[in-house]
A and B are shown apart, each in its own frame.
Chain A
């Protein structure tokens, strides 16, 4: 009996011995999770699995809730907290990546990426005022295209989402009516349409429904091979979504004078700026109870900014320029171990 128990204990110890010394758990935004998946795996590998990093794409709201509750070591959010909120919760916030939200359509007979929409038509479609694809307003913007006589089905997120925050933030900026009737937030009262769960759910529904239009983070649209829409930016230029366009939007950002790095990059000036660009953030606790884990956490983020940059670019995200990363490293000095 005793022997059996002893061998059991030895066995358990052996299993535990092969596990990582430090495990860092993160959760939150789905917007950057394709990159985070690559990063957490790559970093864990690079430490010989000594430090194991996990990230669950549960959504920005969940990321904020869980880091506040202290159940995870880092949270991801696309909907930045204000400086006061950070102070109150004892959190530190810094940007991780810049990416683009794109508008996707399922339009039989229209070549991929050919459709153009400007600010009033985009807002009118999501407000439910333009109901059909052969509407004169859309036709006027797309003289060369044969637009189908088809009803427009708006597809949006069913869950609370940072992607929705970025998208509705843009719509609020370009349309006073949207601002007044719907507003901006991670979940809003949509006037029309049906909803899918998370970015993949929206892509799935758009590809199922002929005549559908939706919005998603760029990588998901590329992965799902969905047709994206060219949008007219602030300077009046039609642009297809590209990483260069996201970078151009981020170029004007004045990070130095943004407390808590609070920044929303929608509708930025610049001829090459993609209009719906967003920043995704990391939240960590200012008081790190476990010094070793806290240091490992910073090691991980440092690795992401340097060794991880290539993976981010491959997935159509834009990393932060070196001077901004330097600002972020300064911010880390506030952390107490």
Chain B
């Protein structure tokens, strides 16, 4: 029986058709899942939008007893932690990638493997490390230094209140988490620079720095942006690592030292027990996060298109 079936499938004409159908179906799965997510989240969050309207997006109220909810603290927390992470992680990731491409193999290879290993560590490990190591360090050393020694406590948005938990700590954890990610992607793209181009650059007397900046970086600009956006996407949706150290406070943070919350952390904290209106509000938060990721993707695409000519990319 199996033999017959196998013969039928292996018939070249039939196989081609079958393959075409299989490929098409698999490809169609993507838009299907995508629209499915939007529809499901939109449908499940509808009661929340009906109750609060768009004010859900800018209300700062979070009162489970009175059943009043607003998403702004979570949205602001998500944006703040993600921005801190990207700003802190991109420069070192870029430098690491540049070095790894040019480093002699005896040091480049182990470092490269270490980078891949770091990128594979589950985020909950980063969260635990953050809670047990980073939080006390932030409380006892970093915050007094920033606030008192650098006198940052007099600046707006940098308050005095701090206990190790909060937006800044979460941002730093996220930065550490996405750094190997961004770096690994950049490294892989930089590696694709044709050796001939680099050798030519050395040939006309370029220094290593000049080669790195004018040839490797120029050639790999696409990877640079791509790496940053992958890191951005990961930081936006990260849950466990953030939940451990952000403080889970559903209030608008008055400084980067204050506790806050993110959309993903709010979902993880409340979803298991939520019912009634809160459940719909959580679905609405999920929708907001999805839309945010979507915007990041669109932005990434438009960035790449806009800079294509400047990078001399063939269209």
State whether these chains interact.
yes
- Asked if A88 lies at the interface with its beta carbon under 8 angstroms from chain B, I say no
A208 at the interface (CB under 8 A from B): yes
From B163, B250, B270, B272, contact of A58 by CB (8 A):
B272
Contacts of A309 in B (CB 8 A): none
Expressed in whole angstroms, the Cα–Cα distance for A187 and B69 within the complex equals: 13
* B163 contact set on A, CB distance < 8 A: 151, 153, 194, 209, 211-212
Whether, in the assembled complex, A319 has its beta carbon less than 8 Å from a beta carbon of chain B, the answer is: no
Give the Cβ gap from B300 to chain A, nearest Cβ, in Å: 32
CA distance A189 to B165 in the complex (A): 19
Residues of B within 8 A of A159 (CB): 269-270, 272-273
Contacts of B161 in A (CB 8 A): 151
Q: Is the CB of B273 within 8 A of A195?
A: no
Query: Residues 256-279 of chain B: 1 if any A CB is under 8 Å from the residue's CB, otherwise 0?
Result: 000100000000011011110000
Contacts of A204 in B (CB 8 A): 131
Cβ-defined contact, B139 with A210, below 8 A: yes
Asked if A269 is at the interface of the complex by the 8 Å CB criterion, the answer is no
Bound state CA distance, A194 and B162, in angstroms?
Answer: 11
Q: How many angstroms between the C-alpha atoms of A212 and B164 in the bound complex?
A: 12
Contacts of A209 on B, CB cut-off 8 Å?
A: 135, 139, 163-165
B259 touches A182 (CB 8 A): no
Contact status A193-B64, CB under 8 Å: no
A188 to B66, CA, bound (A): 9
Q: Which residues of B contact A151 (CB under 8 A)?
A: 161, 163
A62 CB within 8 Å of chain B: yes
Total interface residues on A, CB under 8 Å, equals 32
A158 touches B273 (CB 8 A): no
With most chain B CB atoms within 10 A of its CB, the pick from A185, A194, A212 is: A194
B130 to chain A, nearest CB (A): 11
Residues of A within 8 A of B139 (CB): 208-210
A208-B164, A209-B139, A209-B163 known; A59 vs B272 contact (CB < 8 Å): yes
- For residue A186, CB closer than 8 A to chain B, the reply is yes
Asked whether, in the complex, the Cβ of B135 is within 8 Å of the Cβ of A160, the reply is: no
What residues of B have a CB within 8 angstroms of the CB of A197 in the complex? 243, 248, 269
Determine if B63 and A189 form an interchain contact, defined as CB atoms under 8 angstroms apart: yes
List B148-201 residues whose CB lies under 8 Å from chain A.
Answer: 161, 163-166
Judge whether A195 and B64 touch: CB under 8 Å: no
Q: Nearest B residue to A212 by beta-carbon distance? A: B163
B36 is an interface residue with CB less than 8 A from chain A: no
Are A195's CB and B247's CB within 8 A? yes
A61 at the binding interface (Cβ < 8 Å): yes
Are A208 and B272 in contact, with the CB atoms below 8 A?
Answer: no
Contact between A188 and B249, CB atoms less than 8 A apart: no
A65-B275, A153-B163, A204-B131 are contacts. A158–B269 as well, Cβ < 8 Å?
yes
Chain B residues near A189: list those with CB within 8 A.
Answer: 61-66, 250
Is A205 interfacial (CB 8 A cutoff)? yes
CA of A335 to CA of B62, assembled, Å: 40
B249 touches A194 (CB 8 A): yes
Could you tell me if B273 and A58 are in contact, using CB atoms closer than 8 angstroms?
A: yes
Q: CA A33 – CA B149 in complex, angstroms?
A: 47
B136 interface contact, C-beta 8 A: yes
B248 and A194 within 8 A (CB): yes
A184 touches B64 (CB 8 A): no
Collect the chain A residues with CB atoms within 8 Å of residue B259's CB: 193-195
A112 to B248 alpha-carbon distance, docked (Å): 28
B131 and A186 contacting across the interface, CB-CB below 8 Å: no
Instruction: Mark A151-191 against chain B: 1 for CB-CB distance below 8 A, else 0.
Output: 10100001110000000000000000000001111111110
Docked Cα-Cα span, A183 to B63, in Å, equals 10
B 52-76 contacts with A by CB, 8 A? 61-66
* Contact of A270 with B by CB under 8 A: no
**A-side contacts of B269, CB under 8 Å:** 158-159, 195, 197
> How far is A210 from B138 in the complex, measured between Cα atoms in Å?
12
A34 at the interface (CB under 8 A from B): no
Q: Which of B104-148 contact A (CB under 8 A)?
A: 131-132, 135-136, 139
A196 CB–B CB distance under 8 Å = yes
Residues of B within 8 A of A194 (CB): 163, 165-166, 247-249, 259
Interfacial residues of chain A within 287-330, with CB under 8 A of chain B in the complex: none
| B248 and A195 form a contact (CB under 8 A) | yes
**Residues A160 and B248 in contact in the complex (CB < 8 Å), given A59-B272, A209-B165:** no
Alpha-carbon distance A183/B64, docked complex (angstroms): 10
Which residues of the other chain, B, contact A182 by a CB distance below 8 angstroms? 65
Q: Which residues of B contact A58 (CB under 8 A)?
A: 272-273
Partner of A208, one of B63, B135, B273: B135
A160 and B250 alpha carbons, distance in the complex (Å): 14
Contact assessment for A62 and B272 in the assembled complex, using a CB-CB cutoff below 8 Å? yes
Contacts of A205 on B, CB cut-off 8 Å? 165
Contact among A184, A193, A208 with B65 in the assembled complex (CB-CB below 8 Å): A184
B243 pairs with A61, CB closer than 8 A: no
**7 A-B residue pairings within 8 Å (CB atoms):** A59-B272, A159-B272, A160-B270, A189-B61, A193-B249, A196-B248, A209-B135
Q: A194-B166, A208-B131 are in contact. List 8 more A-B contacts (CB 8 A).
A: A159-B270, A159-B273, A185-B64, A189-B62, A189-B66, A193-B249, A193-B259, A210-B139
Which 10 A-B pairs have CB atoms at the shortest separation, nearest pair first?
A: A61-B273, A194-B247, A195-B248, A158-B248, A189-B63, A160-B273, A187-B64, A194-B259, A183-B65, A158-B269
